[in-house]
Structure 1
Amino acid sequence: MTAAVTLGLLTPVAVAVPDLLVPTATAPASAATAALTPAALTPAALTPATPAPAALTPATPAPASPLAVPSDLTATELSFHGGGGLVMHGTVLAQATAKPARPGVVLVHGAGTGTPRAKLLGEAVEFARRGLSVLIYDKRSEGYSLFRRSYSQLADDALGAVAALRAQPGVDPAKVGIWGLSEGGWVAPLAASRSKDIAFVVLVGANGLPPLRQQTWAVAAGLRKAGVAGSLVDRAEPNLYRTIADGGLFPEPYYDPAPALAAVRQPVLAIWGTHDLLTPPQESPPLFARALKEGGNRHYVFRFFPDADHAAHRTPDGGVTRLPELAPGYADLVGSWVGEVTAGRPPTARISGPAPVQASVTVPVDPPAWWASAPAQLAALLLFLVAFAGYPVVALVRRLRGRSTVPVTGAARLLSGAGLATVLGSFSYLVYLVMTGGKLAAPGPVFAERPLVWLALQALAVASVVATVRTGWAWRRAPGSVPRGERARLGLLLAAGVVFVPWAFHWGLLLP
């Protein structure tokens, strides 16, 4: 079973999820943050990172600014070359009375193709008012889609933006850093690990887990928040994501962020909202701390903001609704922290803020076995469509030709109808949940922690199994009276019914 999928961080190499990313135990929120306390850590000198590529020359002139910038700020349009030489356009915001030799920061988007720079205007304005020159740029759409993306290429885009900002008048090129939100939390450390031209790294809503594991958790958490439990959440949803990834429809599913984080030598400020519903806020920080520590980087600060969502914006309802305002103190923290770092006073490792809320833990989403792979699921789907849909079609053709045959048993008709309805219905429903899942799932009416739609599909699955047994029994009792053509038709139907049984168990349709 394959389907299109939206990514919460929202992207193919098939590798096992490293043990580093698998939590060893389920800890309460307080314990999760306590585990990060760096009491035994001492400051370590920053070592030079891998040299960045040479600054790219300015590209063709950018169009007029699409931004409505407040009067106390200036906006400068520029163009630069991203990964693969793609011409990209951005805007630099700064105070109208900005000081010379000021720090700068490049903002890297979260998931989404062609996301306009205006999406990060709120952050850019607030950071600029704290004395920074802030570059925001339109995200690429070329080479980036729902099914295709490269974090390496996105990192090259960010490095091109860094080179462009370092060349701006009034900006101290030694004080330019990078900020990454959500998917940018994978991209920004990768860019920083490649270039010593990046002075610092700020991450918001960043994830220390592989994208597939994060996305599976986010949709499952949304369903649980809607009151759903049982096989739909525990079996069907993660199996769908395994199949999607195995079919090449989930880009960068097993990307491991740990190596890039371990290679970051710059000071790191990582921020999470306590009500992050898209990134597991309890599990990610310890993974970040572990990777940075293994790389010898003790210059990091982790901060949790109360009543804040995935993007560290204010939220009135536990992370479901994102308000335009940033969490109180967030912009001030970025401004003061960047000031300290660029003044040569990198911070010692520390964590502060209230414990984040995470109702459920993530689970590994490893590549599927051969029988659960995308090709095997596609073969089963084709068998079901041919057998279940073909049975009534053949009957209709015979009737139109005046050659109708009395069926061996009415159970065959039930198997055909119920089997087809189960396969198509479950496929459609799961795709719907994935496309609308995340922090605000809409599974429909729920009874006994099961959506009524899922309960109906499970009832159809049981009816299909019963019909398979009855059809096989009826044919066994009257083998000689079944014409040859009917035997082929009935045999194909029964074969589909037999395959349907393990298929339905795999997808949780025959489980509680």
Structure 2
Amino acid sequence: MRRLVMALAVAAATLMPAAPAVAAPADFTATEVSFTSNDGVVLHGTVLAPASGGAARRPGIVMLEGAGNRGRSYLRPEAEAYARHGVVTLIYDKRTEGYSAVHRDFSLLADDALAGLRLLRDRPDVDPSHLGLWALSEGAWVAPLAANRSADVRFLITVGAVGITPAAQTAWAYGTYLRHAGVSGSLPRTMRGTVVQTTIDLGIFAESDFDALPAWQQVRQPVLNQWGQLDRDALPGLSSRLIGGALDRGGNTSHTIRIVDGTNHNLHRTAADGFDRLPDLPADYADFETAWIADPSLTAPSASLADEPAPPVFAAGDHAWVSSGVVLALLVAFAGFLVVGRRSKLGRPARWLAVLTPVTLVATYLYLMFLLVVAAKVTGPVVLGRPLPWLLLQLLALATVAATVAVAATWRHHLDLTTPGRIRLALLTATGALFAVWAVQWGLLLP
């Protein structure tokens, strides 16, 4: 019964008539569509097509979004540019079932792209022999998988493709953006190393070790790989060399590497040396791409790029569990301090330590989580090479260690304590010692 219901749902979605064209500028039309992926998930999108129809069939592209789920409107300016250049273009909302901030499956996203491609292939205004994928950033990890699965993919165009694993790319980008913000010292090391490794170990960095190069090596269709000269996310120098090398090793003789002057990761105009995300497209956007679709042998002069420094290498390990064990032991010791012999008079350093330890621990995790959410692109004011919140956290960590030393030094003054009082003092001292281990591990006690 369940299979029957799913089959009926898939059939209904497939046969659903397209919505009428919605209001759009006179040079193209926009039509709302729905299509179904292999697992039965229905996706919703918009097809933008040149307004002047005629009998001639036109090239078609399916656009693959970058990381996150911003919705089809995020790629609307690019889609409109291609439609104005005579290309029928599909943009669609990325699935929410099976895709989230902590779960992504590039193979599943490749199936979605091919489902969209089938929708375009069946349109009377699309030429199936000029049907391809356009992929941005994360989408360029997906595109070669899709190309290797279907002969319907006649060409690939990528923007900001990454030639290393998502984990290594993320760590490199953290360092790049923090350095641009004037941040030095332990925070970049913590973000590039401890934070990324912890997300991998906890299983919340899906596809962290995905290597796209084997898939690129199998691609036989014509490929146009493009990077902005001021791309601060995709390591354009290293990625262009690695992906170009994989295509060469696979025997692909029809691929073009293009570096676009003065543009950022999205091939948009930039007013901040590539560290912004302005919505403005260059005036000649899609000129070269549409000419290349008509003739994949077309080449264009490209700016030269040097390889970026080698990014770190990550593998699943036990770092997060060791850190979690330290934190758990710290919390147990602190809880014991709160429970045992609460009437014992331990003095001011003990009271300070009892307050500073949990406050510093929680505040550190909250700030690092904030940096994760904003991809280290928003740090707050920078003082002495440190974001002000991180500087305050380091000062709190130093104060916590100082309080621990002060508590340990008071042992000889508390020989008259009752047994519960001595236990409480020992637990508090252990809490401070464990905190120091944790603070070193997370960079709070490092320069």
Query: Does structure 1 conserve the Cα–Cα contact (< 8 Å) formed by 2:172 and 2:192?
Result: no
Aligned position for 2:57: 101
1:135 alignment partner, SS class: strand
**Counterpart check, 1:467 vs 2:400:** no
Aligned position for 2:315: 367
User: Is the deviation greater in 96-105 or in 149-158?
Assistant: 96-105
**Structure 1 CA distance for aligned equivalents of residues 154 and 349 of structure 2:** 71
1:313 alignment partner, SS class: coil
Out of 74, 79, 83, the position equivalent to 1:119 is 74
AA at the equivalent of 1:498: A
C-alpha deviation, 1:356, in angstroms: 5.2
Aligned position for 2:37: 82
1:384 alignment partner, SS class: helix
Seen in structure 2, the aligned counterparts of structure 1 residues 199 and 253 have a Cα distance that, compared at 3 Å, is same
Query: Does structure 2 conserve the Cα–Cα contact (< 8 Å) formed by 1:388 and 1:417?
Result: no
Matches within 5 A, 1:412-491: 412-438=350-376, 441-475=377-411, 477=412, 480-491=415-426
**Structure 2 CA distance for aligned equivalents of residues 215 and 65 of structure 1:** 41
Which structure carries more relative contact order (alpha carbon 8 Å, separation 6+)? 1
AA at the equivalent of 1:319: G
Aligned position for 2:301: 352
**Structure 2 CA distance for aligned equivalents of residues 500 and 210 of structure 1:** 33
User: Is the deviation greater in 254-263 or in 499-508?
Assistant: 499-508
TM-score, normalised by the number of residues in structure 1:
0.78
C-alpha deviation, 1:260, in angstroms: 1.2
AA at the equivalent of 1:495: A
1:49-77 deviations in Å (ceiling 9; x for gaps): xxxxxxx9761526746964221223344
1:247-289 deviations in Å (ceiling 9; x for gaps): 1222211111111111111111011112222222222111111
Seen in structure 2, the aligned counterparts of structure 1 residues 424 and 91 have a Cα distance that, compared at 3 Å, is closer
1:261 alignment partner, SS class: helix
Query: Does structure 1 conserve the Cα–Cα contact (< 8 Å) formed by 2:21 and 2:29?
Result: no
C-alpha deviation, 1:166, in angstroms: 0.9
Aligned position for 2:7: none
**Counterpart check, 1:246 vs 2:185:** no
Query: Does structure 2 conserve the Cα–Cα contact (< 8 Å) formed by 1:389 and 1:420?
Result: no
**Counterpart check, 1:384 vs 2:339:** no
Structure 2 residue runs without a partner (length 5+): 1-9
Out of 254, 268, 279, the position equivalent to 1:299 is 254
RMSD: 2.6
Aligned position for 2:5: none
Matches within 5 A, 1:279-290: 279-290=234-245
Seen in structure 2, the aligned counterparts of structure 1 residues 383 and 278 have a Cα distance that, compared at 3 Å, is same
Query: Does structure 1 conserve the Cα–Cα contact (< 8 Å) formed by 2:225 and 2:258?
Result: yes
1:326 alignment partner, SS class: coil
**Structure 1 CA distance for aligned equivalents of residues 395 and 334 of structure 2:** 17
Aligned position for 1:405: 344
**Structure 1 CA distance for aligned equivalents of residues 348 and 388 of structure 2:** 27
1:469 alignment partner, SS class: helix
User: Is the deviation greater in 229-238 or in 360-369?
Assistant: 360-369
Out of 420, 442, 445, the position equivalent to 1:507 is 442
AA at the equivalent of 1:459: L
C-alpha deviation, 1:479, in angstroms: 7.3
AA at the equivalent of 2:65: H
2:278 alignment partner, SS class: coil
Structure 1 residue runs without a partner (length 5+): 1-55, 399-403
**Structure 1 CA distance for aligned equivalents of residues 23 and 416 of structure 2:** 80
Identity %: 42
**Structure 2 CA distance for aligned equivalents of residues 311 and 488 of structure 1:** 60
**Structure 2 CA distance for aligned equivalents of residues 138 and 457 of structure 1:** 40
Seen in structure 2, the aligned counterparts of structure 1 residues 236 and 320 have a Cα distance that, compared at 3 Å, is closer
Query: Does structure 1 conserve the Cα–Cα contact (< 8 Å) formed by 2:48 and 2:90?
Result: yes
Out of 191, 214, 221, the position equivalent to 1:259 is 214
AA at the equivalent of 1:405: S
Query: Does structure 1 conserve the Cα–Cα contact (< 8 Å) formed by 2:165 and 2:209?
Result: yes
**Structure 1 CA distance for aligned equivalents of residues 101 and 215 of structure 2:** 24
AA at the equivalent of 1:469: V
C-alpha deviation, 1:338, in angstroms: 0.2
AA at the equivalent of 2:404: T
Aligned position for 1:226: 181
Query: Does structure 2 conserve the Cα–Cα contact (< 8 Å) formed by 1:127 and 1:331?
Result: yes
Query: Does structure 2 conserve the Cα–Cα contact (< 8 Å) formed by 1:108 and 1:158?
Result: yes
Seen in structure 2, the aligned counterparts of structure 1 residues 457 and 388 have a Cα distance that, compared at 3 Å, is farther
Query: Does structure 2 conserve the Cα–Cα contact (< 8 Å) formed by 1:77 and 1:91?
Result: yes
**Structure 2 CA distance for aligned equivalents of residues 387 and 67 of structure 1:** 64
**Structure 1 CA distance for aligned equivalents of residues 408 and 20 of structure 2:** 70
AA at the equivalent of 1:454: W
C-alpha deviation, 1:447, in angstroms: 2.3
AA at the equivalent of 2:359: A
Seen in structure 2, the aligned counterparts of structure 1 residues 62 and 254 have a Cα distance that, compared at 3 Å, is farther
**Structure 2 CA distance for aligned equivalents of residues 429 and 62 of structure 1:** 49
1:302 alignment partner, SS class: strand
Out of 112, 119, 123, the position equivalent to 1:157 is 112
**Structure 2 CA distance for aligned equivalents of residues 187 and 437 of structure 1:** 21
AA at the equivalent of 2:369: V
Out of 187, 198, 208, the position equivalent to 2:153 is 198
Aligned position for 1:15: none
**Structure 2 CA distance for aligned equivalents of residues 172 and 288 of structure 1:** 28
**Structure 1 CA distance for aligned equivalents of residues 17 and 116 of structure 2:** 14
Seen in structure 2, the aligned counterparts of structure 1 residues 428 and 78 have a Cα distance that, compared at 3 Å, is closer
Out of 164, 171, 190, the position equivalent to 1:209 is 164
Query: Does structure 2 conserve the Cα–Cα contact (< 8 Å) formed by 1:214 and 1:362?
Result: no
